[in-house]
Amino acid sequence: MHWVDVYAEQLLGRGKKHFVESGTSISGEPHLGSAEDLIISDGIAKAIIEKGGECKAIWAMDDLDGLRKIPKQLPKEFEDYLGQPAFKLPCPDGCCASFADHFTRPFLENLARIDVKPEPVSVAKMYQDGKYDNVVRIAMDRAAEITAIIKEVSGSDRGDDWLPFFPICENCGRILTTQAYAWDGQRISYRCKGGIAGKNFIKGCGHEGAVGIRQGKLPWRVEWASRWSHLGVTFEPMGKDLMASGGTYETGKAICERIFNSPAPLAVPYEWIVIEGGKRLGKSAGRILTIGELIDIATPEIARYFFFRSKPTSHKDIDFGLGITKLAEEYEIAERTYFGQDMGLPEKEIEDVKRNYTASQISGIPERLSQVSYSHLISTVQVTNDWDHILEKLARTDDISGMTQAEEQRLKVKVEAVKTWLATHAPEDMKFQLQAEHPEIEISAEEKAILAKLLGKLEKAEWTAEKLHDSIHTTAVESGIKAGAMFNLMYRIFLNRTKGPRLGYLLASLDREFVVERVRHFST
């Protein structure tokens, strides 16, 4: 059974109504990895609903978290805001109501493009509106027990006088710099003495004061537990590092059960996405890959597919270059498999592959197969830019007859994705300029003879990528040359270069008369 169904059934065994939470700290533009838990949540939520259950999804914007470092895309002036909660920060470009708005709106808009639409909730607003009053009081009254649980589960000793609350300093506005030291049942006394954020020490202003329970926040582990309890969260995806023994999840679970008397949610561990063979997302210098970018170059369905094709805990490496064409090809195989074609997959994988496909759909599951491959479009869109002309070419090589409006729309989106990929992430090899005139190149006598042999085949060949590829391959075999040398020769006469996209697709995108004329010219 596919993992979305395994989780859905496990949850339905506990009850019919579900609530999934995911959360993201707001410290700049959320990268692709921040979308991962929302998409996993969405897949499981949809499976629950398909099986007759209910599921509500919220996305907690952790905008009370203090700013720990200045993201590269922010102006230097933002250094003044270090240690302050994100909800207090202004929009860096002056275009939105707040810092959080500026970065979360595009993130949510892009998620909506792949039908992931959780209800966004500002954590700062929840505290300010008093939604947390109850849990904060409980946490403060039972601070000693919480300290003991943290020590017991995680081994970390906070000290006897520790209070689980970070006030926002009334003088400097920072939250990462305060230490609470007394609770009188109404107000929390604190000192603004400075605090550590990653490798940096953020100086406090020295202020001493007391605030009410809405002017600050609980520390992360306590906050998480209180949120599960307060909202009734039944499952939550989390990076698998949080699930280590004695880690955040175990501590939160113990606090949730023993302090707030609520069951902890089912944890769905996932592996973080890495790029290009191992770099952690968001840590690669100056480069943020976002879910929007992935959708733009891959299409919405293929972007979703990336998250459903393998278990959440399996290794996830994304490569926006050639990797996108491989991802697209895998998706296309899944699509053909779903529509009953034998793609040579092992029998035991077929059901999961079909489910990978259905979990990736956005506006319902198509009723029939209507597919033009990504690789084919890489050639077509470089031969012509005009939509009608693209359709005319494809009509000769692919079955696109009688496309419905929805099918045509999906094809249009795919064409745009391929164009965007070519303009942004495609390796140079994949880009070409079709030579409208005969290029000025040297062709040897042996090569002329090979082209003459190919000519006879091209005049009769069925004009499909596969058949054209076969003709070229057979010619190479018959002539006793390597396939690579044969491809190289063809790229030279059509593109005036030695490499290019898949040759069968390239030729199929061109008119037979044009191809035949070109080969004939260089064969004599």
- Footprint of Zn ion (CB under 5 A): 91, 93, 95-96, 102, 169, 171-172, 192, 205, 207
Tell me which DSSP letter residue 461 carries: S
3-state secondary structure of 19: strand
Pick between residue 38 and residue 202 the one whose CB is nearest to Zn ion: 202
Amino acid at 120: P
CB of 209 to Zn ion, least distance (A): 9
Pick between residue 93 and residue 184 the one whose CB is nearest to Zn ion: 93
Pick between residue 187 and residue 457 the one whose CB is nearest to Zn ion: 187
Q: How many Cβ atoms are within 10 Å of 437's Cβ, its own excluded? A: 6
CA-closest candidate to residue 57, choices 21, 105, 15, 7: 21
CB of 66 to Zn ion, least distance (A): 12
Question: DSSP letters along 244-263, please?
Answer: STTSHHHHHHHHHHHTS--P
CA 264, 272, 287 angle in degrees (round to 5)?
Answer: 135
Query: H or E stretch including 486?
Result: helix 483-495
Q: What is the CA radius of gyration of the chain?
A: 29
User: How many residues make up the chain in this entry?
Assistant: 524
CA-closest candidate to residue 178, choices 84, 87, 68, 99: 84
CB of 211 to Zn ion, least distance (A): 12
Residues 482/483/489/490 CA torsion (nearest 10 deg): 170
Pick between residue 69 and residue 207 the one whose CB is nearest to Zn ion: 207
Q: How many Cβ atoms are within 10 Å of 310's Cβ, its own excluded? A: 14
CB of 183 to Zn ion, least distance (A): 19
CB of 93 to Zn ion, least distance (A): 5
429 conformational bin, left if phi > 0, alpha if psi -120 to 50, beta if neither: alpha
CB of 191 to Zn ion, least distance (A): 9
Burial tier of 271 (Cβ tally within 10 Å: 0-12, 13-18, 19+) = middle
CB of 96 to Zn ion, least distance (A): 3
How many whole angstroms separate alpha carbon 157 and alpha carbon 155?
6
CB of 287 to Zn ion, least distance (A): 21
- Decide: 427 and 322 in contact? Cβ < 8 Å: yes
Pick between residue 215 and residue 251 the one whose CB is nearest to Zn ion: 215
How many whole angstroms separate alpha carbon 179 and alpha carbon 166?
6
Pick between residue 73 and residue 314 the one whose CB is nearest to Zn ion: 73
How many whole angstroms separate alpha carbon 387 and alpha carbon 391?
6
Pick between residue 41 and residue 110 the one whose CB is nearest to Zn ion: 110
Pick between residue 102 and residue 253 the one whose CB is nearest to Zn ion: 102
Pick between residue 207 and residue 336 the one whose CB is nearest to Zn ion: 207
- Who's near 175: CB < 8 A, 6+ residues apart? 64, 65, 66, 83, 84, 85, 166, 167, 168, 169, 216, 217
Pick between residue 95 and residue 285 the one whose CB is nearest to Zn ion: 95
Pick between residue 171 and residue 409 the one whose CB is nearest to Zn ion: 171
Joined together, the tokens standing for residue 330 give: 């895998």
Residues 69/72/73/77 CA torsion (nearest 10 deg): 60
The residue with tokens 């004939």 is 520
CB of 128 to Zn ion, least distance (A): 19
Pick between residue 109 and residue 157 the one whose CB is nearest to Zn ion: 109
- Who's near 116: CB < 8 A, 6+ residues apart? 35, 38, 39, 41, 42
CB of 194 to Zn ion, least distance (A): 9
CB of 78 to Zn ion, least distance (A): 13
Question: DSSP letters along 287-300, please?
Answer: ----HHHHHHHH-H
Query: H or E stretch including 17?
Result: strand 17-25
CB of 98 to Zn ion, least distance (A): 8
